[in-house]
Structure formats: C-alpha cells, structure tokens
C-alpha cells in the first residue's frame, strides 16, 4: 500500500508512518480538475472587488466587478437596517452566545427571531441552529426514521443527515412524485417511521419540487414530509417560501430553511409543531452540542425577515431581474433551466463552462462555472443569480457580457 493509504516503515527509525499526505491529495484533485481557490471579496454586495487567493497572506483587490453568483437574493447583506440590528444585538446581548443554548447561550435575540419565524411560517414554534447544514443534519438524525425517501438532487446536508440517521435511504428520481409513489409501494413492509425529504427550490437546477403531489403521496402512506426552503425563504408573499406560496403549511410537518441567503445572515431554522421543536431542542446533536447562533446574526436575520415580509417592491424587483435575464439569455441561444431566481445556463462541456466563466470575468461579471461532480456529467453550467439590488444597467451589462463571452469561446 502507498504512503497515504496504509502504514509503511520509516527507513531511519523503523517505526510505521500512519500520517496523511495532504499535498498528494491536492495534486490528485488538481489532476482531476477539481481544485478550487478561495477568492476574497471586499464586501458583500451586488458590486464588489475580488482578490486572487492570497493563501495565508493579505488579499490584494482588483477592479470592481458585478456579482451574479451570490445567494443574497434580496440584497440585504449590506442593508443599513440589517446592519443596525446586528450592531444593536452585539451591543445589548453580546458578540457571541457564549455557550450551547441548553446551558447559558439561549438569549432574547434567539427567542424573538424564532417567534417571528414561526409567525412567517404559520407554525406553532421554530428553532434556530448555527447553520443550515447543522439544521438538516441534526433534524434528520434526531428524528431517527426507519426509512428516508430522498430526492436525487437534494442538498449535501440532507444526504449527510440521512447517513447520520442510520436510516435506510431510498433515493427517488428528481422531482418525480410518481417515482416516490412507486418506491413506497415497493416496500415489503409498512412498519416503522417514514420520512420524505426534498428541497423546495433546487440550488443547481433552479427548479421547484412538486410539493402538492409529494404531499398526496406521503399522506397516502402516513409518512412525514420535510421540505428544505433554503433557496425560497423570504422570496414570496409575507416572507414565505414555496410551501406558503402553494398553501401547504398544514400538510407539511417539518419546514426547514436558512438565514444565510435571502435573510442575509447566518444560521438555519426548523418550523413545526410544539412537540417537534421541543424534541429537536433536546435530541438534535448539532443543536445541543453547538454554541448558540451569534446574537448579531439573530438580530440581522430578524430585521431581514421583517423587510422580506413587508417590502413587496424589493421582492418584485428580484423576479423582474430574473425574468429579464432568462428571456435575454434564451434569445441569444443559451439553454437556461429552471423557473426561479436561480438561472442555470447549461453549456454541457466542462472545459467550455470554465472558459465561459473566465471570459465573463474578463468582462467584469462574476458568475462561476459549476461542473461535475457537483452536477451530472454533460451538464456543466454557469449558475446565474441576480439580486434585487442590481440596477437595470447591471442587468444590461450581464447580458452583454454573456453575448460577447459566448461568442469569444465558441458556445454561441
């Protein structure tokens, strides 16, 4: 066996080497075209400056560029109201929670945010976690289902939650309620607890799960349904997601979402019944054994949720930008998937997608390539995500950049 995969004797000391070789792992990733660099931005906004990866040094920022790759869909990360709320929470409550919320880390900032989230989701209670990832992992594992039925395109946090739960996991075809029904019908026994898990909006394809049909299938078999609204929370009427848009709040037992996208902060939440929330607060290990969400993040998310619930014009601008981009890109000849604020411009070939992203960057537009294994082979793409705070001129510049870059690299 090689040095990395198994022990070998050190020639000088005769002792076995049970260490790791991260340099070799990096080289292998580089050879497969999967190595990525972090490129810092000077601020979170629709326009910002970026720096090449400085490794351990100071970033050196270049010219300002248009950002069409963020999940700050409502453009609230730099909003003064949200910033003031974060600062006030830091001053009055503290910069950090200081402990697990089951010890001394449960503050008024957390409880106020949870009350507002429960109201927005029309739920009895809500529970806030330190991240969206921790929310899914902790919730699914704490439920400890016997069988999980999971959409094939679900987020990694759902996949890992299924693994940690120890449940038998059945993956059904993406956005296919009939496939879910078939998978349930094929079960040899109806015993045990069943959980269906799906994103509402899928982050790479920009499409929407058939929630009404999924509810019908789950109800037919007495299963519970968990819907991840990470990319939908705050983007519909009253700050709701797809569940609220479709009027399904009373048919879905577990509604999860994040505070780090349209709500411009950090963390995740679960909304549901009183017994569910009380159980998770005692049994979800990623909640129990983590320091509580930082109070400034809770304050910021609460302020952002208020804006999302009351500022109809801001939400409308986001949808107008998305539709204009979709129509413009399609008119050029690009293939644009999805039906939401996430616009996957599907190129197909991995190298073409990388070249297109680089050509866009040369023209002042940041919209990185997404390629396998994140997406299936042959579907490499540019993931375009507008923000409500983009101007009409910015949308024009984005479209012009796509046209010029597409011709330059030969994909148009």
Distance between CA 48 and CA 63 in Å, rounded?
Answer: 8
* 8 A C-beta contact, residue 50 and residue 34: no
132 — phi, psi (to 5°)? Answer: -65, -40
For β-strands 194-199 and 168-172, DSSP reports them as unpaired
For β-strands 335-336 and 268-272, DSSP reports them as unpaired
Which two three-digit tokens encode residue 198?
């799906």
Closest CA to 253 of 170, 196, 182: 196
Where does 247-350 show beta strands of DSSP type E? 254-258, 268-272, 335-336, 343-348
Three-point CA angle 67, 137, 274, nearest 5°: 105
Please provide the DSSP assignment of 284-295 as one string.
Answer: -HHHHTSBPPPH
* 8 A C-beta contact, residue 340 and residue 201: yes
Distance between CA 281 and CA 279 in Å, rounded?
Answer: 5
Q: Is 203 a catalytic residue?
A: yes
Q: Of the listed 110, 121, 155, 231, which one is catalytic?
A: 231
- For 21, which DSSP code? -
Distance between CA 149 and CA 227 in Å, rounded?
Answer: 12
Measured from the Cβ of residue 282, the count of other Cβ atoms closer than 10 Å reads 11
Q: Of the listed 121, 155, 236, 261, which one is catalytic?
A: 261
* 8 A C-beta contact, residue 146 and residue 191: yes
Residue with tokens 């014009």: 313
Q: What is the radius of gyration, based on Cα positions, of the chain?
A: 23
Distance between CA 162 and CA 144 in Å, rounded?
Answer: 9
Q: Of the listed 46, 130, 203, 265, which one is catalytic?
A: 203
For β-strands 147-151 and 194-199, DSSP reports them as parallel
Closest CA to 353 of 399, 299, 291, 410: 410
Please provide the DSSP assignment of 196-224 as one string.
Answer: EEEESB-TTT--B--HHHHHHHHHHTT-E
* 8 A C-beta contact, residue 404 and residue 86: no
Active-site positions? 203, 231, 261
């Amino acid at each position: 066996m090689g040095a990395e995969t198994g022990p070998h004797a050190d020639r000088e000391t005769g002792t076995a080497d049970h260490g790791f070789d991260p340099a070799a792992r990096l080289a292998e990733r580089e050879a497969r075209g999967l190595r990525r660099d972090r490129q810092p931005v000077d601020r979170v906004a629709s326009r910002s400056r970026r720096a090449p990866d400085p490794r351990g040094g100071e970033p050196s920022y270049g010219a300002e560029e248009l950002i069409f790759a963020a999940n700050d869909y409502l453009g609230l990360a730099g909003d003064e109201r949200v910033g003031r709320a974060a600062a006030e929470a830091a001053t009055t409550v503290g910069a950090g929670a200081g402990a697990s919320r089951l010890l001394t880390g449960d503050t008024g900032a957390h409880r106020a945010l949870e009350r507002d989230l429960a109201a927005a989701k029309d739920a009895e209670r809500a529970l806030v976690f330190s991240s969206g990832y921790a929310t899914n992992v902790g919730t699914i594992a704490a439920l400890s289902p016997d069988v999980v039925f999971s959409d094939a395109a679900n987020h990694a946090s759902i996949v890992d939650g299924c693994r940690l739960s120890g449940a038998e996991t059945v993956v059904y075809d993406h956005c296919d309620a009939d496939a879910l029904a078939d998978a349930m019908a094929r079960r040899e026994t109806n015993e045990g607890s069943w959980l269906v898990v799906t994103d509402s909006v899928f982050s790479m394809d920009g499409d929407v799960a058939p929630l009404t049909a999924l509810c019908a299938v789950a109800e037919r078999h007495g299963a519970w349904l968990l819907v991840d609204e990470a990319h939908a929370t705050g983007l519909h009427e009253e700050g709701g997601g797809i569940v609220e848009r479709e009027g399904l709040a009373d048919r879905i037992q577990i509604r999860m979402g994040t505070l780090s996208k349209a709500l411009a902060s950090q963390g995740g939440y679960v909304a549901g019944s009183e017994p569910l929330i009380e159980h998770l607060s005692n049994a979800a290990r990623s909640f129990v054994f983590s320091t509580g969400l930082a109070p400034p993040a809770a304050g910021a998310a609460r302020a952002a949720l208020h804006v999302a619930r009351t500022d109809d014009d801001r939400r409308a601008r986001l949808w107008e930008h998305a539709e204009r981009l979709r129509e413009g890109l399609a008119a050029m000849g690009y293939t644009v998937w999805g039906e939401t604020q996430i616009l996957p411009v599907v190129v197909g070939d991995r190298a073409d997608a990388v070249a297109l992203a680089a050509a866009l960057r040369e023209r002042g537009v940041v919209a990185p390539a997404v390629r396998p294994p994140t997406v299936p082979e042959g579907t490499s793409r540019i993931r375009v995500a507008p923000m409500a705070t983009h101007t009409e001129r910015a949308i024009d510049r984005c479209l012009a950049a796509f046209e010029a870059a597409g011709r330059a690299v030969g994909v148009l």
